[in-house]
Structure 1
Amino acid sequence: MRSSLADSVARREFFGWAMYDFANSGYTTVVITAVFNAYFVGVVAAGQPWATLAWTSALSVSYALAMLLSPLVGAYADAHAAKKRLLAWTTAACVLFTATLYGVGPGDVALGVLLLILSNVAYSLGETLVAAFLPELARGEAVGRVSGWGWSLGYFGGLLTLGACLAYVQFAQSHGATAAEFVPATMLITAAVFALASLPTFLFLRERALPQAHPHGVWRTAFGRLGQTLHHVRRYQDLFRFLLSVVFYSAGIQAVIVLAAVYAQEAMGFSTQDSIKLILVVNVTAALGAFFLGHVQDRLGHRPTLSLTLLGWLVMIYLAYTADTPQRFWLAANVAGLCLGASQSIGRALVGLLSPASRRAEFFGLWGLAVRLSAILGPMTYGLLTWLTHNDHRLALLLTGGYFLAGLVLLWWVNIPRGLRAAVAAEEAWRHA
């Protein structure tokens, strides 16, 4: 590990950074993927024909807000060397709004939508901010494996949180509790794990950036820096081609993440306990995929490794679409797990490599914009298709799989060496300006 970290980075600092992936994964695993999504559709919205569309629409609004805010927050963080401070605020907000989901019961659609939007915006901004620390911690040739280590640890955080929730659900059900009674309590468990597990991040992670001048005011400077980045888009043609690929393949990933439990229960007839157990196992395979393919990408290359994972996603879509037994669906889900950790980790590493050093938070903000746009496209496409096809979840999954194919085609327009040269040249130009 020591040889993969930058000279000034201690192991405990890497541990603190990686623990944020561990901490926040419980939110996506329990709220977005495994528990609250199915609870919202089946209990809060009482399984109405518009329930899945309402869920995906609420998420789309949250991602639209995050998409607009991420580049600006990144530019502000660069100007003030404030990544860590802003990360603390977004973490506190996500923990608070996740805990208040405890009060959402049957019929509380508006309250559930509002709290989901607020918690997910805070989560999304925090995810972008913590990613901007990666290039400061890893050596250039090891950024892939360091990203993979953090992402794989994150899946174990999701496992811990989901496992605690499963234990509580089984206990509550053994005492005759209904979903309306035990699911809200899992929101408190999720919030508590997030708060406690993120403490090492704020204890050990250092803010290495230096404040940068903003003579025209903070927000005007932030808008100006973002405008300058977009104005010089041709300098970073390969980075922006890659971000376009991210928009498409991540749309497919986001649809799977957001609707995994809904699909399992609506299309395959899984119970809440079955769905939680499935997601628990998938988190293990996702952690393995992020860890091992993180090493593979540093040897095989970022683009070939990512291409392999996108082909794996297409295999998963076929398996899930044709699944007529629980065993075949379990196979599809674990293929998704292996591809999930790897594809997200590789994407984060590539953005770090193709970004100029002094504006990494800003460029990770643009990555956040691309990911949030995909999180609107994928789930909304799925939600609209289920509504238009009278809840045909299999057809909706098959058609959203087209996003993986589009992302794969766009990826082969990206020239990694040329993109690296552009980032280095831009950094030199800014230093001598």
Structure 2
Amino acid sequence: MTVRPDKRAITSWALYDFANTIFSMNVISLYFALWVTVDHGGQDILYSLALSGSMFAVAISVPVFGAISDHTGRRRFPLTLLTLIAVVATALIGQTSQLAVGLCLFMTANYCYQSALVFYNGMLPSIARQSNVGMVSGYGVALGYVGSIAGLLLVKPFVADGGRAAAFLPTAILFLVFAIPCFLFVKDPGPKPFQVDVGQAFRTLRATIAGASQYHVLFKFIGIHFLILDVVNTVIAFMAVYANKVIGFNDSQITTFLILSTAFAMLGSVIIGWLVKYKGTVFSYWTVLWIWLAALTIIMVSPGETLFWLVGPLAGIGMGGVWVVSRTIIVELSPPEKVGEFFGLYGLAGKMASIAGPLIWGSVVWILQDTQTLKYRVAVGSLLLIAVITIILFNKLQDQFPKHSATS
């Protein structure tokens, strides 16, 4: 008997993606970095340490949260609790004038936001039921992009009236309001007693890593992908700072720039998805890598606003495309019975990249702190070097891909 999907649950689940991308865009990508570095005159390394420290805590917690999600089936309560803590911490950032307190609140909010995603993603198979999981996931991704743009536009008037500190309370409220349907209407099917072996969770992770090393091409690709994610995650975290301090963008221009990038990320997902289907994953991944190389080069050499505006569409397409093609490669290279395990490792690589990339940026800027804008251009240069290394390594690996990966 075919079980009909619960449309209300699917809509509620997808709305959570709308909700959490409002937090991601407004807090991580835009206002908090500028609140630290401009409003409070803090060094970039402070934001780097706060972001990387919270992501390190997430990386340690993910195996445990994954075990709770998989073994107990209880996802709604942890998702709700973590989201509520993130909402409260976000709202409080705007109420403090102390930089140290703000950094601690950000670390708490980001840790809870990132950790909640483990339970959110775990809900997908049960709400999709026998419908297309990829299609339901696509609804979430699409609403996520819309949420990014909506969050920027809805919070912009508050910032215009009250400065960047005024961004955090409305962001928190929007995050909460659009997350509530998921709390109410996405239920846990057959939850089990809360019994989790924490040690076993880490033993499973270690076994997954050891198992992946036997699949040499896959293991090497995850390493290569980690490098390009260093670039992507760092650009997401620090582009607003660079646009403000080097290019001279004001907040309104940065908001427009981020909306432009997000719109092209939506377009990039479609374009790269088409390339994957008709040209294969190798060609598509090359396209993404060269787009990022071009974007970073323009960022580093831009003398002013005119040329820099080209970065928005390029980085957007590269950002949207990198996830589409990399996930497809993981599926192509993984044995069917191990796809779930290797996606877990793929996710871990993304979290580790969120630790390494911002630390590299912050360290370069801190070391060259007396060089005005040069330190930021050198920081971008370090990302450009990582992109070049990624291209060299992928060039060596591509011949080991299955034949059908080269062309579809």
Give the alignment's TM-score, normalised by structure 2: 0.84
Note if 1:28 corresponds to 2:9.
Answer: no
- Matches of 1:213 and 1:402, distance apart in 2: 47
- Quote the residue 2:38 is aligned against: 42
Q: What is the root-mean-square deviation in Å for CA atoms of aligned residues?
A: 3.4
SS across alignment from 1:35? helix
- Quote the residue 1:127 is aligned against: 117
Which of residues 288, 294, 314 is equivalent to 1:335?
A: 314
Deviations 1:39-93 (A, max 9, x none): 210112x2x5xx1111111111111111111122212321212344432232222
Which of residues 159, 178, 187 is equivalent to 1:197?
A: 178
Once structures 1 and 2 are overlaid, which stretch shifts more, 14-23 or 52-61? 14-23
Aligned letter for 1:185?
A: A
- Quote the residue 1:371 is aligned against: 350
Asked if the contact 1:148/1:290 (under 8 Å) is kept, the reply is no
Note if 1:289 corresponds to 2:285.
Answer: no
Unaligned runs of 5+ in 1: 1-5, 173-180, 421-433
- Quote the residue 1:71 is aligned against: 63
- Quote the residue 2:388 is aligned against: 405
Going from structure 1 to structure 2, the CA distance change for 1:213 and 1:386 (only over 3 Å counts) comes to: closer
Going from structure 1 to structure 2, the CA distance change for 1:70 and 1:208 (only over 3 Å counts) comes to: same
Which of residues 129, 138, 143 is equivalent to 1:153?
A: 143
Shift of 1:306: 3.0
Note if 1:314 corresponds to 2:293.
Answer: yes
Aligned letter for 1:245?
A: I
How many residues are paired up? 396
- Matches of 2:11 and 2:277, distance apart in 1: 21
Note if 1:110 corresponds to 2:100.
Answer: yes
- Matches of 1:366 and 1:223, distance apart in 2: 12
- Matches of 2:344 and 2:99, distance apart in 1: 31
Aligned letter for 1:32?
A: I
Going from structure 1 to structure 2, the CA distance change for 1:287 and 1:9 (only over 3 Å counts) comes to: same
Asked if the contact 1:66/1:369 (under 8 Å) is kept, the reply is no
- Matches of 1:294 and 1:9, distance apart in 2: 26
Asked if the contact 2:127/2:186 (under 8 Å) is kept, the reply is no
- Matches of 1:26 and 1:404, distance apart in 2: 28
- Matches of 1:349 and 1:117, distance apart in 2: 32
Which of residues 43, 50, 53 is equivalent to 2:45?
A: 53
Aligned letter for 1:201?
A: C
Asked if the contact 1:99/1:187 (under 8 Å) is kept, the reply is yes
Shift of 1:186: 1.1
- Quote the residue 2:12 is aligned against: 16
Shift of 1:133: 4.8
Shift of 1:25: 0.9
- Matches of 1:380 and 1:78, distance apart in 2: 32
- Matches of 2:282 and 2:85, distance apart in 1: 36
- Matches of 1:201 and 1:232, distance apart in 2: 35
SS across alignment from 2:316? helix
- Matches of 1:207 and 1:357, distance apart in 2: 25
Shift of 1:37: 0.8
- Matches of 1:74 and 1:61, distance apart in 2: 20
Give the alignment's TM-score, normalised by structure 1: 0.80
Asked if the contact 2:292/2:387 (under 8 Å) is kept, the reply is yes
> How do 1:179-218 residues align onto structure 2 when only pairs under 5 Å count?
181-205=162-186, 207=188, 218=197
Note if 1:388 corresponds to 2:380.
Answer: no
- Quote the residue 2:83 is aligned against: 91
- Matches of 1:333 and 1:302, distance apart in 2: 24
Shift of 1:237: 4.3
- Matches of 1:342 and 1:226, distance apart in 2: 28
Going from structure 1 to structure 2, the CA distance change for 1:77 and 1:166 (only over 3 Å counts) comes to: same
Shift of 1:210: 7.4
Shift of 1:299: 4.2
- Matches of 1:209 and 1:359, distance apart in 2: 24
- Quote the residue 1:424 is aligned against: none
Aligned letter for 2:207?
A: Q
- Matches of 1:12 and 1:42, distance apart in 2: 43
Note if 1:245 corresponds to 2:237.
Answer: no
Once structures 1 and 2 are overlaid, which stretch shifts more, 94-103 or 120-129? 120-129
Going from structure 1 to structure 2, the CA distance change for 1:286 and 1:114 (only over 3 Å counts) comes to: same
Greater RCO between the two (CA within 8 Å, min separation 6)?
1
Identity in percent:
26
